[in-house]
Amino acid sequence: MISTSSNIFSKSWSKFNERFYIQGPSSKATTKQQQKLQQQHKKNTFSQDIRRGLTSETFDLASNNREGDSRPGIDGDRIEEIMEASGCSFDEARWLFFCMQCFENNIDPISGLPMDPKAVHAI
């Protein structure tokens, strides 16, 4: 099962990378983009995401969302952009978005460990 997920991820990631250039976390452009996304993210709610159809069997927002839940929702605009660019499903786009967030923060998305060579992984 892991190999199948990895294979799907690899194909989707390749398609996505063909269309987008991912900047490093130290870039001023990335910082501005992140601030813009954070502002958009604050305005978004899970109820809005459900109405937009951003839910699946493995990420069922409707069953976990109570009426009036004011928590910020997922970054639906970005996930839809990934879905269009790579031609992947909602779940694959969520995974790609998660991996991009990890890379932007210098974290290995598979292990969850920092990719900084100076980071201490064990004592």
- Encode the chain in three state secondary structure: CHHHHHHHHHHHHHHHHHHCCCCCCCCHHHHHHHHHHHHHHHHCEHHHHHHCCCCCCCCCHHHHCCCCCCCECCCHHHHHHHHHHHCCCHHHHHHHHHHHHHHHCCECCCCCCECCCCCCCCC
- Is the confidence at residue 62, as pLDDT, over 90? no
Q: CA nearest 45: which of 70, 65, 78, 67?
A: 70
pLDDT at position 34, please?
A: 66
Please tell me the least confidently modeled range out of 30-44, 67-81, 105-119: 30-44
Percent of the residues in the chain that have a pLDDT greater than 90, as a whole number:
20
* Alpha carbon of residue 87 to chain centroid: 15
- Is the confidence at residue 75, as pLDDT, over 90? no
- Is the confidence at residue 97, as pLDDT, over 80? yes
Residue 73's Cβ-count burial label (10 Å; 0-12, 13-18, 19+) is: buried
pLDDT at position 70, please?
A: 65
Overall pTM surpassing 0.75 (yes/no): no
Q: Are 90 and 83 in contact (CB under 8 A)?
A: yes
Q: Which residues contact 107 (CB under 8 A, 6 or more apart)?
A: 113, 114, 115
Find the largest Cα–Cα distance for the chain. Answer: 48
User: Best-predicted range by mean pLDDT among 9-18, 89-98, 114-123?
Assistant: 89-98
Please tell me the least confidently modeled range out of 67-76, 89-98, 99-108: 67-76
Under the banding of pLDDT at 50, 70 and 90, the label for residue 3 is very low
